[in-house]
Amino acid sequence: MNQYEIRYTMNDMPDGYVGRTSKWARDEKSALKYILKKAPDKNGFCTFKRGSTGKILSIKQLELE
């Protein structure tokens, strides 16, 4: 299991808002499934589980210390 940091924006938040969450998963695709209803489109736009829409900015694997 690896830890992934997901950075995103949400359309219903103020301009300039960037959210960040970390999830433990086998791969990036699995980590996204924890916060999204379905996979993001080619441009990164998606629908979150709680109904908000937004865009995935980045996904990176965190190094264990």
Q: Encoding tokens for residue 15?
A: 């301009």
pLDDT tens string 4-35? 999 999 999 999 999 999 999 999 999 999 99
Evaluate if residue 39 carries a pLDDT over 90.
Answer: no
DSSP string, 2-64: EEEEEEEEETTS-TT--EEEEEEESSHHHHHHTTBSS---TTSEEEBTTS-EEEEEEEEEPPP
* The total number of structural domains that make up the chain: 1
Domain enclosing residue 28, as ranges = 2-61
Residues 6+ apart with CB under 8 A from 15: none
Identify the band that residue 65 occupies on the pLDDT scale cut at 50, 70 and 90: low
